[in-house]
Amino acid sequence: MDSSAGSGRTAMQSAESPKSVKYSLAALVLLACAVVAAAVSDEPPSAPEPVLPESLQWVSPPGLPGLEAAWILGSAQAPGTYILRVRLAAGARIPPHTHPDSRHTTVLAGTLYVGFGEAFDDARLVTVPEGGVYLAPANLPHYLRAGDSDVVYQESGVGPTGNRFIPN
């Protein structure tokens, strides 16, 4: 029978001295600190790391002809800042939808037309020319249309994010 049975200590505790437990705990704490420090290092990069256009991975979502998108920074599922670049073919439309976060959009090329509301209404479209910026507040239905030429725009926000299309 274990001699530590009546003492309230386990066999493992009986075999280890309080000093060795302290050293083991200290080593564990130091290891945890080293891992955390490595993961969240405040060490700045030694040089800028640009994301170049030719490195972007473009995808075309189903059901949205004329639209291609590429994540530049972050992703839809990840918490934190993201940047999404979008190419919209001439005349292409994105139906009314919302996002759970606010998005800042900068038109990089072409002319984008944007409207707020649950139904696509050409009369309510606002022109956002190349170089223009607009804000789509969180959960506010909005829709888009490219002008007579292709449009490239870039959205930024804080994820996680997503799209919820408004039923017709």
Tens digit of each residue's pLDDT (9 = 90 or more) over 28-80: 444 444 444 444 557 888 999 999 999 999 999 999 999 999 999 999 999 99
Sequence-ordered list of residues with C-beta below 8 angstroms from that of 131, at least 6 positions apart, any chain: 106, 107
- Residue 48 counted as domain residue: no
Tell me the sheet residues that pair with 167. Answer: none
* Residues 61, 136 within the same domain: yes
Look up the domain containing 7 and give its range. 1-43
Cβ(76)–Cβ(158) below 8 Å = no
Q: What's the pLDDT tens digit per position in 18-28?
A: 554 444 444 44
**Do 83 and 152 share a structural domain?**
yes
Domain contains 83: yes
Confidence check: pLDDT of 140 > 80: yes
Question: What string of H, E and C letters represents the secondary structure of 97-162?
Answer: EECCCCEEEEEEECCEEEEECCCCCHHHCEEECCCCEEEECCCCCEEEEECCCCEEEEEEEEECCC
Worst-scoring range by mean pLDDT, 1-15, 35-49, 69-83, 94-108? 1-15
Residue 159 lies in a domain: yes
Whether residues 34 and 60 share a domain: the answer is no
Query: In the structure encoding, which two tokens stand for residue 82, read together?
Result: 């993201």
The domain tally of the chain equals 2
Q: Are residues 161 and 111 in the same domain?
A: yes
